[in-house]
Chain A
Amino acid sequence: ILNVEQSPQSLHVQEGDSTNFTCSFPSSNFYALHWYRWETAKSPEALFVMTLNGDEKKKGRISATLNTKEGYSYLYIKGSQPEDSATYLCAFNNAGNMLTFGGGTRLMVKP
């Protein structure tokens, strides 16, 4: 069982604040790192799939970076909006296994 850790577990921010979360994963045999956005009462939806060390991906106000050598990825949200409130999951593949999900970071944005 691979250890994928996300921090913080939950986060309350004000509308307009920028924020970031961390995903830590084993640095050996890296294959891919996924970020998903999971709104309450819905299904997880993919934000990014990252495969190369140093990768940076962006979608609107959300961006992610990847460091495979040290085993971490950051997810950034610029100018948080109430509709950004969700749980953000990261998931890690190594060379021999299916995705292992972290426990998620629950973001709540207050208007």
Chain B
Amino acid sequence: NAGVTQTPKFRVLKTGQSMTLLCAQDMNHEYMYWYRQDPGMGLRLIHYSVGEGTTAKGEVPDGYNVSRLKKQNFLLGLESAAPSQTSVYFCASSWDRANEQYFGPGTRLTVT
């Protein structure tokens, strides 16, 4: 039982490049989330999904897109990376929005 996994662990992008971060969970959770963590800012919700085929915007969605084609996977895309997107990205999942969230190990992204 791997829990929540994220790929890749680290990535360096140049401004304007695109990439996709993959989150996978094996707990059959309905809800999945993408957060970014910046110094002094805590965790901020980018996008979330309440089930397969659904996505919704969180607090800081601009510059990101997401897809949830399969229940176990939640993808976060950056179409044209900007230095302001340098951050640590965490994926999480839960049974519903009030239950505890299980977090992945994080992806450290640097945009130069």
Contact = CB atoms under 8 A, between A and B. Distances in A.
Interface of B: 4, 33, 35, 40-45, 48, 58-59, 90, 97-106
Contacts, number: 50
Interface of A: 1, 31-32, 34, 42-46, 49, 51, 89, 91, 93, 98-104
Contact of A103 (B41, B45, B97, B106): B41
Contacts of A45: 103
B103 A99 contact: no
A43 B89 CA distance: 11
B11 to A, nearest CB: 17
A31 B58 CA distance: 18
Given A43-B90, A102-B42, A103-B41, A93 B98 contact: yes
21 contacts: A32-B98, A34-B101, A43-B90, A43-B103, A43-B104, A43-B105, A43-B106, A44-B43, A44-B103, A46-B102, A49-B98, A93-B98, A98-B33, A98-B45, A98-B97, A99-B101, A101-B42, A101-B44, A102-B42, A103-B41, A103-B42
Contacts of B42: 89, 101-104
Contact of B40 (A46, A89, A103): A103
B103 A31 contact: no
- What 5 A-B pairs have minimum CB-CB distances, sorted nearest first? A46-B100, A43-B103, A32-B98, A101-B43, A103-B42
Contacts of A101: 35, 42-44
B98 A51 contact: yes
Given A44-B90, A93-B97, 14 more contacts: A1-B59, A31-B98, A32-B97, A43-B103, A43-B106, A44-B103, A45-B103, A46-B102, A49-B99, A49-B100, A89-B42, A99-B101, A100-B59, A103-B42
